[in-house]
């Protein structure tokens, strides 16, 4: 099986990195250094080599190094399924982000055809206990790893919904103003639901019978507040939007549809909802899902994704850390991991590449760590 990994990464005026170049091979990369040194910024840059706004969901202008504000650029050489690709993304001041693949301008969705990238960041530690929005985003990121066009369906749905919400806020009553928008929402919404359900099914297959030290999760997709989501086809969604106009007018926004869905997880072996599990169990469930996603993509895409694991060891004891590293190695994943100390990655031994990040003279410096 051909692999997927970054051979090189170069940053220019990105966050705390004025100029940075990293050469890598297919092994995992362990990045260590004090808090605030710029470790997560490296992972964020890699996340922007995939469609979307990256692991922090930052605005384009916020990615440029201050105080220069000269714009920013990320360049990478990616080996994907036996082929090398030169990928660039960046923005100049006042301009939207752009992409180039092998010297040619490309839309964001094209990034997903070359590389599949997943991440786990500390903010996700509260995923199961906080609001549904974060869980939808987590599911959509996994869904997009299987079907890059899923992102386009989400954008089309949200664009039509914003226009419908504007009509609702303005108190427009004429149904003719709504019908075209609701038809567009229904078509995109049906695709979104089908893609999500297919992703959940693939994750369930990958979780079933997997040899892993991390607990399996049973996943379900529901409507708002756990109610069954019965309107999932384009026809049913069209009817639901029309039927809900009076209620939506009173609220000034659309109250039903795939933007209100929720991802529910249950710790399978214990039959306990993820939100009721301990902090460590919730973290272990997240890791289990990311590893399952990687196993499924190894079959569907032809190679496991690049993984970005920010401070992944925070809630793992030494045995669990070692188990995670063993599974990453067994999956042949290029995982980029951060931690404050090199000792957190001791169990990797010579199976990984080590980088040390330090803040010096107002900018981040990265050096190999032997």
Closest CA to 306 of 75, 17, 80: 80
pLDDT at 227: 58
pLDDT at 1: 44
Q: Could you count the other beta carbons within 10 Å of the beta carbon of residue 256? A: 20
CATH 1.20.1050.90 domain locations along the chain: 127-300
Structure tokens at 3: 């692999």
Contact 296, 205 (CB under 8 A): yes
pLDDT at 248: 97
* Residue-by-residue pLDDT tens, the chain, 370 positions: 479 999 999 999 999 999 999 999 999 999 999 999 999 999 999 999 999 999 999 999 999 998 888 999 999 999 999 999 999 999 999 999 999 999 999 999 999 999 999 999 999 999 999 999 999 999 999 999 999 999 999 999 999 999 999 999 999 999 999 999 999 999 999 999 999 999 999 999 999 978 899 999 999 999 876 556 667 899 999 999 999 999 999 999 999 999 999 999 999 999 999 999 999 899 999 999 999 999 999 999 999 999 999 999 877 889 999 999 999 999 999 999 999 999 999 999 999 999 999 988 777 888 888 6
Distance CA 239, CA 28 (A): 50
DSSP secondary-structure letter at 217? E
Closest CA to 361 of 15, 17, 9, 71: 17
Distance CA 80, CA 303 (A): 8
CATH 3.40.50.300 domain locations along the chain: 1-116+301-370
- Which stretches does DSSP call E strand in 250-339? 262-267, 272-273, 306-309, 335-339
pTM above 0.85, yes or no: yes
Contact 161, 196 (CB under 8 A): no
Contact 336, 43 (CB under 8 A): yes
Residues 6+ apart with CB under 8 A from 70: 13, 64, 92, 93
Fold for 1-116+301-370, please state it.
Answer: Rossmann fold (3.40.50)
End-to-end CA distance of the chain: 30
DSSP secondary-structure letter at 233? S
Q: Could you count the other beta carbons within 10 Å of the beta carbon of residue 286? A: 22
DSSP secondary-structure letter at 340? S
pLDDT at 223: 82
Distance CA 328, CA 291 (A): 8
Structure tokens at 352: 């990984």
pLDDT at 101: 97
Burial of 7 (0-12, 13-18, 19+ CB in 10 A): middle
Closest CA to 289 of 178, 164, 200: 200
Distance CA 290, CA 55 (A): 14
Distance CA 216, CA 218 (A): 7
Between strands 117-120 and 306-309, the pairing is: parallel
Contact 5, 331 (CB under 8 A): no
DSSP secondary structure letters along 321-346: HHHHHHHHHHHT--EEEEES-GGGGG
**CATH 1.20.1050.90 fits domain 127-300:** yes
Contact 352, 58 (CB under 8 A): no
pLDDT at 97: 95
pLDDT at 210: 84
């Amino acid at each position: 099986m051909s692999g997927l990994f970054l051979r090189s990464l170069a940053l220019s005026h990105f966050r705390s990195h004025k100029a940075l170049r990293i050469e890598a091979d297919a092994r995992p990369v362990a990045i260590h250094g004090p808090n605030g040194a710029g470790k997560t910024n490296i992972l964020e840059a890699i996340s922007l080599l995939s469609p979307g706004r990256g692991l922090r969901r930052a605005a384009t202008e916020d990615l440029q190094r201050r105080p220069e504000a000269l714009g920013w650029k990320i360049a990478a050489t990616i080996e994907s399924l036996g082929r090398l690709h030169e990928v660039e993304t960046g923005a100049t001041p006042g301009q939207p982000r752009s992409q180039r693949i092998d010297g040619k301008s490309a839309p964001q969705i094209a990034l997903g055809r070359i590389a599949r990238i997943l991440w786990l960041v500390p903010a996700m530690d509260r995923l199961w206990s906080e609001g549904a929005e974060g869980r939808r985003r987590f599911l959509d990121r996994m869904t997009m790893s299987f079907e890059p066009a899923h992102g386009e369906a989400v954008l089309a749905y949200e664009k039509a919904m914003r226009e419908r919400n504007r009509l609702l806020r303005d108190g427009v009553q004429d149904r003719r103003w709504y019908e075209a928008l609701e038809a567009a929402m229904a078509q995109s919404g049906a695709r979104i639901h089908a893609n999500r359900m297919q992703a959940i099914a693939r994750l369930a297959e990958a979780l079933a019978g997997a040899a892993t030290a991390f607990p399996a999760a049973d996943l379900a997709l529901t409507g708002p507040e756990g109610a069954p989501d019965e309107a999932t086809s384009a026809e049913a969604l069209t009817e639901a939007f029309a039927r809900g106009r009076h209620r939506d007018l009173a609220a000034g926004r659309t109250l039903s549809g795939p933007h209100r869905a929720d991802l529910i997880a249950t710790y399978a072996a214990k039959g306990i909802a993820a939100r009721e599990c301990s902090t460590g169990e919730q973290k272990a469930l997240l890791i289990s899902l990311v590893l399952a996603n990687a196993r499924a993509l190894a079959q569907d895409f032809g190679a496991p994704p690049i993984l970005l694991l920010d401070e992944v060891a925070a809630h793992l004891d030494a045995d669990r850390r070692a188990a995670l590293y063993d599974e990453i190695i067994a999956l042949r994943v290029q995982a980029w991991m951060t931690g404050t100390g090199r000792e957190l990655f001791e169990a990797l031994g010579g199976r990984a590449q080590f980088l040390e990040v330090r803040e010096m003279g107002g900018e981040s410096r990265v050096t190999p760590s032997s």
